[in-house]
């Protein structure tokens, strides 16, 4: 089988995330001198590899950007890559409402000027029993939550994906009740592992991966990591989520990666790591047990799957 390890450098033409983040004179200067320097950033995997577990290997840029579940662009895994060309991720803003001191709309540039972007290499485990290892760039969701100033009564966070059927052809069909919605418990949202990602492999977030900003919750099945977020709502009750609404007997609110709780369609005991031939054992909480198991110590995970 072909292992696609060298596919990273051809993507030099993508705007770099740093240019996007600063959006200022300095970045314009940077951009002129940087194309080769950032190409290095992309092709030199050592900066990501130091965050890797010994059993893991980074998936290639091509794998990560051509095999996606993003039903807004179609239900086949190649559709997001093929159908997301017309999507305009800029300008972008996120509406903050619900139980907050003051409902407001943040410009994405404003959010990014207040946070620190860092590299996070995470395993991504899809409920369909395949997985990848992805080098994200982003910042902790907790930083944005602090900016949003939720009231103490806020116990849950709901996220909403943009609804633009003219740019997202999948939304022209009612496969899911649009817009896509997801949610987290407040303590899950505040966990240091939970990030809002704005890039991968040092590139701005590609459209098919949830441009310009998406959630990444590495210990939960991939569908929890909602893409292209336009609204964040703070609530005192558990919000409805898209897949749970569509098929509650299959998808729960928590959706923690759990090899012991099977899905009616897929055994969750093993998974296929993209690029590998043999299946691997699925790890409890996708291998992030140490960081998150305490969140669920009083919860029956077979009931709250």
Partner 1 sequence: MFSTRNFNRSKPVLFILILFPSLLWAYQFVTGNLGVNPIEKLMDELGLMALRLIIITLIISSLSNIKTLKSIVVLRRMIGLFAFYYVCLHFSTYIVLDHFLDIQFIIQDIIKRPFITFGFISFLFLIPLASTSTNNMIKQLGFKLWKKIHYLIYPVAILASMHFYVLVRADKTEPVIYMGIIILLLLHRIFKRLSRPQLAQ
Q: What span, in angstroms and rounded, lies between the C-alpha atoms of 165 and 168?
A: 5
Q: What span, in angstroms and rounded, lies between the C-alpha atoms of 258 and 127?
A: 10
Which 237-256 residues touch partner 1, going by CB under 8 A? 246
x-or-dash string of contact with partner 1, 255-274, rule CB under 8 A = -------x-xxxx-xx-x-x
Should residue 33 be labelled a site residue for partner 1 when binding is judged by CB under 8 A?
Answer: no
DSSP, residue by residue, 157-168: EEEEE---TTT-
Cβ-based neighbours of 296, under 8 Å, separated by 6 or more: 254, 256
Place of tokens 């017309």: 86
CB 244 within 8 A of CB 256: no
Among 56, 62, 143, 240, binds partner 1 (CB under 8 A): 62
Among 1, 36, 91, 152, binds partner 1 (CB under 8 A): 1
Q: What span, in angstroms and rounded, lies between the C-alpha atoms of 148 and 97?
A: 9
**What are the φ/ψ torsions at residue 170 (nearest 5 degrees)?**
-65, -25
Should residue 72 be labelled a site residue for partner 1 when binding is judged by CB under 8 A?
Answer: no
Instruction: Dig out the tokens for 211 from the structure.
Output: 């441009």
Complex with partner 1: residue 99 or 176, whichever CB lies closer: 176
Q: Where does this chain touch partner 1 (CB under 8 A) — which range of 60-68, 90-98, 193-201, 225-233?
A: 60-68
Should residue 66 be labelled a site residue for partner 1 when binding is judged by CB under 8 A?
Answer: yes
Should residue 11 be labelled a site residue for partner 1 when binding is judged by CB under 8 A?
Answer: no
Q: What span, in angstroms and rounded, lies between the C-alpha atoms of 305 and 299?
A: 10
Q: What span, in angstroms and rounded, lies between the C-alpha atoms of 305 and 289?
A: 16
Q: What span, in angstroms and rounded, lies between the C-alpha atoms of 191 and 168?
A: 31
Complex with partner 1: residue 198 or 242, whichever CB lies closer: 242
Question: What's the min distance (Å) between Cβ of 207 and partner 1?
Answer: 17
Which 156-185 residues touch partner 1, going by CB under 8 A? 173, 175-176
Should residue 63 be labelled a site residue for partner 1 when binding is judged by CB under 8 A?
Answer: yes
The binding site for partner 1 (CB under 8 A) comprises: 1-2, 62-63, 66-67, 71, 75, 77-78, 130, 173, 175-176, 246, 262, 264-267, 269-270, 272, 274-275, 277-279
């Amino acid at each position: 089988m072909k292992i696609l390890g060298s596919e990273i450098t051809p993507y030099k033409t993508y705007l770099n995330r740093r240019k996007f983040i600063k959006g200022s004179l300095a970045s314009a200067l940077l951009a002129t001198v940087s194309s080769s320097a950032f190409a290095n950033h992309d092709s030199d995997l050592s900066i990501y590899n130091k965050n890797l577990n010994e059993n893991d290997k980074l998936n290639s840029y091509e794998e990560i950007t051509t095999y996606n579940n993003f039903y807004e662009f179609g239900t086949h895994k190649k559709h997001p890559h093929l159908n997301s060309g017309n999507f305009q991720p800029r300008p972008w803003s996120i509406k903050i409402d619900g139980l907050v001191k003051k409902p407001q709309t943040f410009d994405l540039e404003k959010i990014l000027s207040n946070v620190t972007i860092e590299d996070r290499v995470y395993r991504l485990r899809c409920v369909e029993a395949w997985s990848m290892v992805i080098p994200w760039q982003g910042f902790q969701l907790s930083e944005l939550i602090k900016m949003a100033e939720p009231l103490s009564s806020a116990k849950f966070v709901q996220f909403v994906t943009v609804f633009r059927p003219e740019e997202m052809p999948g939304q022209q069909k009612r496969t899911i009740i649009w817009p896509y919605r997801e949610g987290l418990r407040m303590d899950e949202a505040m966990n240091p592992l939970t990030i809002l990602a704005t890039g991968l492999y040092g590139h701005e977030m590609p459209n098919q991966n949830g441009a310009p900003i998406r959630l990444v919750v590495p210990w939960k099945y991939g569908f929890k990591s909602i893409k292209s977020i336009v609204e964040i709502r703070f609530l005192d009750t558990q919000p409805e989520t898209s897949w749970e609404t569509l098929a509650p007997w299959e998808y729960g609110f928590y959706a923690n990666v759990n090899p012991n709780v099977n899905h009616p369609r897929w055994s969750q005991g093993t998974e296929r790591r993209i690029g590998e031939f043999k299946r691997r054992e699925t790890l409890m909480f996708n291998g992030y047990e140490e960081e998150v198991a305490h969140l669920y110590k009083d919860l029956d995970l077979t009931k709250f799957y």
